[in-house]
Structure 1
Amino acid sequence: MARATSAALALLIFLLCRHVHADAGTTLSQGQSLAGNDKLLSANGAFSLSFFSPRGGDGSRMYLGVMFAKAAEPTVPWVANRDAPVSATASSYSATVTDSGDLRVMEGERVVWQTNTTSSAGNFTLTIQDTGNLVLAGGSGAQAVHLWQSFDYPADTFLPGMNITLARRGGAVVRQTLFRSWRSPDDPAPGNFTLGQDPLGSSQLFIWRRSEDGKDVTHWRSGQWAKGSFVGIPYRPLNGLYGFQLSGDPSQSNGLYYTFQRFNSSQYRFVLQPNGTETCYQLVDATGAWEVVWSQPTLPCQAYNTCGPNAECSAADHCTCLRGFEPKSEAEYGSGVWAQGCVRSSQLTCSERNVSMSGGDAFAVLSGVKLPDLAAWESAVISADACRQWCLANCTCNAYSYSGGTGCLTWAHELLDIYQFPSGQFPNGQGYDLHIKVPASALGSGSKRRTRIIVSVLFVLAVVLAACGFLMWKCRRRIRDKLGVGGGKKRTGAALMLRPATMKAKHDFSGPKQPDQEVAENGDGCELPMFTLETLAAATGGFSEANKLGEGGFGLVYKGSLPGGEEVAVKRLSRSSGQGCQEFKNEVTLISELQHRNLVRILGCCIHGHEKMLVYEYMPNKSLDAFLFDPARRGLLDWKTRLHIIEGIARGLLYLHRDSRLRVVHRDLKASNILLDHEMNPKISDFGMARIFGGDKNQENTNRVVGTL
């Protein structure tokens, strides 16, 4: 008995000496272990690392995982040994940082899971960052090296600070970030669904489902990226998607990657559920509960290609063949089986002739849809009309779509996965227009009765349009009188009339703006994203002096930061300046339609009562005069840089005077109106005094003296 007691005591002393436990610290050092209820905390207390047993399970399986420390219910965004749990009844289980720089999950003396890292750096530590990233590092000071991080090996959850990466070499995928769902809500083992970027490099996100024969089949796709949003995910205010950004190039070393930056202090997580649904959650700080912000697919139409090729799925989960197509199998379509989809009713002639003639091809427009899969981007095509002509001239082109966010997209294959968004359900995000190539005869009358109906409708429309045109002419004339255009009356600061080309608000998801916000007294918008006064006030710190970049005759310029983290310059036009309204009109009219690398880019505008503001891209090196006329900074401009700036200004002027669709004379070109970006690329700014020349004009008159001395 005494011998057995001594042996047990010796074993206990050995175990106590062998393992030094960490209890609620922020660092697990070399030779230390986590066991039992031990926890490793992030510096901000938002995340912890510990062993856990899944909710709903029988409690017999234990996993090492990262957890949200402030959530009311256990929430696990990352699991180490997800397919190799340790037994809760085992005599001992632990997580240890070894002397060779390896993180291991142990069950007794058996290695259950490990990072498989080795290093001679020594001084190995394991920490959990404020983002939830578990980092294994070695060395110290300047010799410190990161050996491994959990963000490179995600489980089922995408967190702010992670990357969703795709890198390709020679047409083959060499690196791809993949998220794998849990097998079930109480089993972290890899499940049947995987999320990642399109291996073909289209910038779309896909969810794949593992079939019974072991193949991955497409379950859902996000749609193409459109400068701030996915075309397959309708925009909704505060839907948790503002923070997504796309960067890089699939052929470069870093690849093409998505990041997500939080636009407020709340915690967010994007979870690939065991049923194949991607869900965005937001943590409610007051209760610690998770609130569902966004989720897809939740409807049959949101799943991939529900209706088969060349068909659209409506909000009522009803399949319809596209115009010019018919069911491939009438029997299947009649019984509600749509897998075979639709085929063309008659073949294309592949010749551009007048639609009113019996032959030729034309386009049927399908509005407000999620654009089909397998699109090709025609980078050299830069207008809607050119995109249409390109598709007509190419016999392999079956459809096209053009917008400022996507450019010219064309389809040479069957049209797959078209979803008709519900009308009016999603403000400011009703999908895109798809132009489907069909024989011109498919757009014809079909019968005399249909012809009479069309003629009657067109007649009524003509009468209505004539009446509307007359009313618009009367309104424009009244507003022109208010502005003093041709009528000699005094112009008011509150009344601002933009020309018709700027009446339409572009479809854009990337900023925190509302489509129904107050504009001018006349109700006119501008062809730019609209920001609220509250958003710009918050971005500039209440237009504080600390954020003021400069001032001119038309108002003040402030530095600001949008909710997504993008730095901007906000020009706040002076209320007392009569010229401020004209400058605002000029800048909106000109810069929104002029696109060149050496012209400053305008990001949006705000009209709220007497407040009129313009939002530009932020230039960190400010203006050229800050270098030329500052003795201390003048030496920073070597001859190579000066020549680069001169060439850039010349290219910008050549574009304005000769190459742009609008011939523009700046009339106020000076060093303070030449802005410099972070690479010292010059950009011409301040178009408040600019004048537009007609294509056949070489002379214009002005009513006031302007220019640069």
Structure 2
Amino acid sequence: MEAQTTTRFPNLPAMVFLAILLSLRASSAAAISSDTINNGGNITDGETLVSAGGSFTLGFFSPSGVPAKRYLGIWFTASPDAICWVANRDTPLSNTTSGALVIGTTGILHLLDGSGQAAWSSNTTRSTPAMAQLLDTGNLVVREQSSGSDSILWQSFDHPSNTLLAGMRLGKNPQTGAEWSLTSWRAPNDPSPGDCRRVMDTKGLPDCVSWQGNVKKYRTGPWNGLWFSGVPEMASYSELFSNLVIVRADEIAYIFNATADAPFSRLVLSEVGVLQRLAWDPASRVWNTFAQAPRDVCDDYAMCGAFGLCNVNTASTLFCSCVAGFSPVNAAQWSMRESEGGCRRNVPLECGNGTTTDGFMVVKGVKLPDTDNTTVDMSATLDECRARCFTNCSCVAYAAADIRAGGGAGSGCVMWMNYIVDVRYVDKGQDLYVRLAKSEFAKEKRMGVARIVLPILASLLALTAAVLYIIWICRLRGQRRSNNMQKKEILGYLNTSNELGDENLELPFVSFGDIITATNNFSEANMLGQGGFGKVYKGMLDENKEVAIKRLGQGSGQGAEEFRNEVVLIAKLQHRNLVRLLGCCIHGDEKLLIYEYLPNKSLDSFIFDAASKKVLDWPTRFKIIKGISRGLLYLHRDSRLTIIHRDLKPSNILLDADMSPKISDFGMARIFGGNQHEANTNRVVGTYGYMSPEYAMDGAFSVKSDTYSFGVILLEIISGSKISLTHITDFPNLLAYAWSLWKEGKAMNLVDSSFVGSCSPNEAFRCIHIGLLCVQDNPNSRPLMSSVVFMLENETIALSVPKQPVYLSQRYFEAQETGENTSSSMNNMSMTVLEAR
């Protein structure tokens, strides 16, 4: 950071300066706005600049326990202890003098103390008036004050302290030598520059390196197009942060940017050289650690020396080994866990006079070596890279520079000359091709045979022991035979459909006796609820696991096909917004399903109950809406099977302890084949009001049928009213009422008064709009659930104009959930064998 220290305020006699300093506080109010210091203005100790969005604050502070020293810095407004930039790191002000930040007429920022000395200055000189502004990114910028000028004369982002924020650069300008790097604090309460630095190494491929003094301590591994090769976990938080490495003639730099919904994040270099990625949790008001480096002993630079490999997951306490074809330089030191000396070749290379019989052995899943001693060609293919290394006797290894192309093999060429160093195994690591003499491959082949034969011999010995064990275990089989036969009966009863293939289900079997014990013999005190399908009981299975047990009634109408659907589908589906099946049981005529216990029961018990609906504020309702949409998207597109639920309604949406929704009751679900888009049935099942018109009248169903049901539920969540809308007599149902309000431009009148205070008008209006799109008459007009999820997650996406939905006759919505077969007509169209539930 450029600074002028312990120098007199430029171009002002001491007496004049003191007079100006005395007037600073009186004039500052006129010279600054909340985030800006205008030309000639200032802020003094005790005053602050706050960015327009309120995210960052600039002002004076004293580190914890050091009140005698004052610094000018920038911090997170929500977390004042999280200092992300310090101006006068080397020259703190005394707390007995009044500090001031002034912007001069030439555009220079001066940090002044009460004696007329400049503790720090920016290095910008401009003849035109300038102003300083704190942006909502945490960047303090100096720009021309002329109207509309975006020309930045100076910015704090070009002079980092120990923190990298979103949008900042870590790198250098190869043309000018300018560098953007992090320097640690000397101590937790001392912002002066410490011994640790974080820089971008631009030799070879871009690589972030940590130094302590003149000692290289850690490197991320080179950038491979998606992440730094030694930090594959960067991909795991791609939903929160995007990572970018810029490579241009005037700039080689790493930048991360936060997504729209991501929390505040910062990369901080600690006093001991540990780099941490921290994310702010506004609920608990703490900084959570997402990642840190170094992570373990294998992250220590050159831990295993040249041609050494470090593996932190080895069972041995010796983490280092040599690349195949190499041995420790000093075996005695390696036995004492001193492996820095590295490894040397067992057999010299056979390269010279333009000919060679050498070959390359692949080392899989590693962080690529230090690229200081490499040549790089991003335009070459991997095959071309091999050929070039083969003809260069100094080349000892090569690898792909970019893993994004080349049909999975990668593209670009990086070749190491003479040695490789700092290699370790990592998840999602890259392939490194190491040069070996031809004779080494024969040894490797013999070793490969040994690696095959020895496990076989060990297996034979284990098999002998296993025979004795099997003799004993067979005695237990008789005791379990009855249970196994019952389990086979269940599997035969399920009669797995062709869509599911011949795969074996990992079906959890629970004995009827265990269920009797868990439910206290189906005690009324354990009953959670009941419906047309039967009753649901709360129970306690082994290890104090709370479960919900559905006992299907013999007259429930949920027969063999529905029971099979429940077991097979839920057992094969895994998603956070689908209920989880824990087991099942058949005992005589009894059919029972065991689910995870969800303490908040079903959605309808909240949104339609006058007292309980107040528990669901708008953020919670919006979370539920998005969760249901994601669950449906998984059923329709993201699971291995394409599944139509056919009976989606609030009573089939269960809520866990965090009010996260889980779709349940798959008894009526249907599976589509790979090329199937719709189907017809003469047995229409479902619940009136939630069935789409084409399904209710013609028996035609598709993924758009579930979209219709989702639209109805969405409008019910917004309005707090059932689809039947019995409390408003002027409209046949909720869809008619919602459409009327929409056409009159009064859509927000649909919002339930119980959560108006917490409601986001834009989000609620958008949900109403999406709900009306989902309940359109023509299935082709309704959006797919993938589009619904996208529309809910992205407020800037324009929505199409909905068409008027069909209003089914009032009498159909008043039908009870009895499971009885009915037959009716609607608009002169026959409804064949309707089953209301």
Instruction: Indicate yes or no: 2:210 matched with 1:207.
Output: yes
Q: Where does residue 67 of structure 1 map in the other structure?
A: 75
Shift of 1:297: 0.7
* Cα RMSD after superposing both structures: 4.1
Deviations 1:122-168 (A, max 9, x none): 2x322110100001223221456432110111111111111233332
Residue pair 1:349, 1:360 contacting (<8 A) in 2 also: yes
Deviations 1:259-293 (A, max 9, x none): 21112331010111111111100010113211110
Q: Where does residue 164 of structure 2 map in the other structure?
A: 158
Letter in 1 for 2:359: A
Within the candidate set 90, 96, 103, 1:89 is matched to 96
Letter in 1 for 2:334: Y
Within the candidate set 27, 38, 49, 2:58 is matched to 49
Q: Where does residue 376 of structure 1 map in the other structure?
A: 375
Instruction: Indicate yes or no: 2:325 matched with 1:329.
Output: no
Within the candidate set 361, 372, 389, 1:364 is matched to 361
Instruction: Indicate yes or no: 2:260 matched with 1:256.
Output: no
Shift of 1:457: 6.9
Q: Where does residue 125 of structure 1 map in the other structure?
A: 131
Residue pair 2:266, 2:278 contacting (<8 A) in 1 also: yes
Residue pair 2:105, 2:128 contacting (<8 A) in 1 also: no
Change (3 A) 1:323 1:13: closer
Q: In the aligned structure 2, how far is the partner of 1:414 from the partner of 1:361?
A: 16
Shift of 1:18: 6.8
Residue pair 2:244, 2:256 contacting (<8 A) in 1 also: no
Change (3 A) 1:184 1:14: closer
Change (3 A) 1:174 1:241: farther
Amino-acid identity (%): 30
Task: Give the total of aligned pairs.
Answer: 451
Q: Where does residue 182 of structure 1 map in the other structure?
A: 185
Residue pair 1:246, 1:256 contacting (<8 A) in 2 also: no
Residue pair 1:24, 1:41 contacting (<8 A) in 2 also: no
Change (3 A) 1:19 1:31: farther
Could you say what secondary structure the match of 2:154 adopts? strand
Letter in 2 for 1:27: T
Q: In the aligned structure 2, how far is the partner of 1:493 from the partner of 1:446?
A: 46
Q: In the aligned structure 1, how far is the partner of 2:703 from the partner of 2:393?
A: 53
Change (3 A) 1:454 1:360: farther
Letter in 2 for 1:194: R
Q: In the aligned structure 2, how far is the partner of 1:381 from the partner of 1:13?
A: 64
Instruction: Indicate yes or no: 2:280 matched with 1:283.
Output: yes
Mapping of residues 521-600 of structure 1, within 5 Å: 578=675
Within the candidate set 21, 31, 42, 2:28 is matched to 21
Within the candidate set 416, 428, 441, 2:421 is matched to 416
Residue pair 1:160, 1:259 contacting (<8 A) in 2 also: yes
Shift of 1:87: 0.8
Within the candidate set 428, 431, 442, 1:430 is matched to 428
Residue pair 1:224, 1:230 contacting (<8 A) in 2 also: yes
Shift of 1:244: 4.1
Could you say what secondary structure the match of 2:54 adopts? coil
Q: In the aligned structure 2, how far is the partner of 1:13 from the partner of 1:326?
A: 73
Shift of 1:47: 0.2
Higher gyration radius (CA): 2
Q: Please, what TM-score do these two structures have when normalized by structure 1?
A: 0.56
Q: In the aligned structure 2, how far is the partner of 1:20 from the partner of 1:42?
A: 21
Q: In the aligned structure 2, how far is the partner of 1:386 from the partner of 1:165?
A: 30
Residue pair 1:351, 1:361 contacting (<8 A) in 2 also: no
Shift of 1:192: 0.9
Could you say what secondary structure the match of 1:398 adopts? strand
Within the candidate set 439, 442, 458, 1:441 is matched to 439
**Mind listing any 5+ residue stretches in structure 1 that lack a counterpart?**
1-10, 211-215, 353-358, 422-428, 462-491, 496-515, 519-536, 543-574, 581-608, 612-709
Shift of 1:98: 2.2
Deviations 1:488-522 (A, max 9, x none): xxxx9999xxxxxxxxxxxxxxxxxxxx999xxxx
Mapping of residues 284-363 of structure 1, within 5 Å: 284-315=281-312, 318-350=319-351, 360-363=357-360
Letter in 2 for 1:60: A
Within the candidate set 31, 36, 42, 1:33 is matched to 42
Residue pair 1:139, 1:145 contacting (<8 A) in 2 also: no
Change (3 A) 1:25 1:381: closer
Residue pair 2:60, 2:71 contacting (<8 A) in 1 also: yes
Q: In the aligned structure 1, how far is the partner of 2:274 from the partner of 2:87?
A: 23
Could you say what secondary structure the match of 1:320 adopts? strand
Q: In the aligned structure 1, how far is the partner of 2:288 from the partner of 2:141?
A: 29
Shift of 1:76: 0.6
Could you say what secondary structure the match of 1:77 adopts? strand
Residue pair 2:227, 2:235 contacting (<8 A) in 1 also: no
Residue pair 1:362, 1:438 contacting (<8 A) in 2 also: yes
Letter in 2 for 1:177: W
Residue pair 2:297, 2:312 contacting (<8 A) in 1 also: no
Within the candidate set 100, 109, 124, 2:106 is matched to 100
Q: In the aligned structure 1, how far is the partner of 2:138 from the partner of 2:392?
A: 50
Q: Which has the higher contact order (CA 8 A, sep 6+)?
A: 1
Change (3 A) 1:240 1:155: farther
Shift of 1:181: 1.2
Residue pair 1:162, 1:259 contacting (<8 A) in 2 also: yes
Residue pair 1:240, 1:294 contacting (<8 A) in 2 also: no
Q: Please, what TM-score do these two structures have when normalized by structure 2?
A: 0.48
Q: In the aligned structure 1, how far is the partner of 2:275 from the partner of 2:446?
A: 50
Shift of 1:344: 1.1
Letter in 2 for 1:25: S
Deviations 1:564-606 (A, max 9, x none): xxxxxxxxxxx999599xxxxxxxxxxxxxxxxxxxxxxxxxx
Q: In the aligned structure 2, how far is the partner of 1:394 from the partner of 1:242?
A: 44
Residue pair 2:39, 2:145 contacting (<8 A) in 1 also: no
Mapping of residues 686-705 of structure 1, within 5 Å: none
Q: In the aligned structure 2, how far is the partner of 1:340 from the partner of 1:309?
A: 7
Could you say what secondary structure the match of 2:351 adopts? coil
Residue pair 2:227, 2:234 contacting (<8 A) in 1 also: no
Q: Where does residue 218 of structure 2 map in the other structure?
A: 220
Change (3 A) 1:78 1:452: closer
Residue pair 1:228, 1:244 contacting (<8 A) in 2 also: no
Q: In the aligned structure 2, how far is the partner of 1:148 from the partner of 1:448?
A: 65
Mapping of residues 137-152 of structure 1, within 5 Å: 137-142=143-148, 145-152=151-158
Q: 1 or 2, which has the higher helix percentage?
A: 2
Could you say what secondary structure the match of 2:83 adopts? coil
Change (3 A) 1:420 1:19: same
Q: In the aligned structure 2, how far is the partner of 1:194 from the partner of 1:39?
A: 29
Deviations 1:184-230 (A, max 9, x none): 111111111122211325211112221xxxxx332211112122211
Q: Where does residue 118 of structure 2 map in the other structure?
A: 111
Shift of 1:381: 3.5
Change (3 A) 1:438 1:577: closer
Q: In the aligned structure 2, how far is the partner of 1:363 from the partner of 1:458?
A: 29
Residue pair 2:133, 2:142 contacting (<8 A) in 1 also: yes
Q: In the aligned structure 1, how far is the partner of 2:300 from the partner of 2:67?
A: 35
Q: Where does residue 593 of structure 1 map in the other structure?
A: none
Q: In the aligned structure 1, how far is the partner of 2:19 from the partner of 2:173?
A: 51
Residue pair 1:198, 1:205 contacting (<8 A) in 2 also: yes
Could you say what secondary structure the match of 1:326 adopts? strand
Shift of 1:234: 2.5
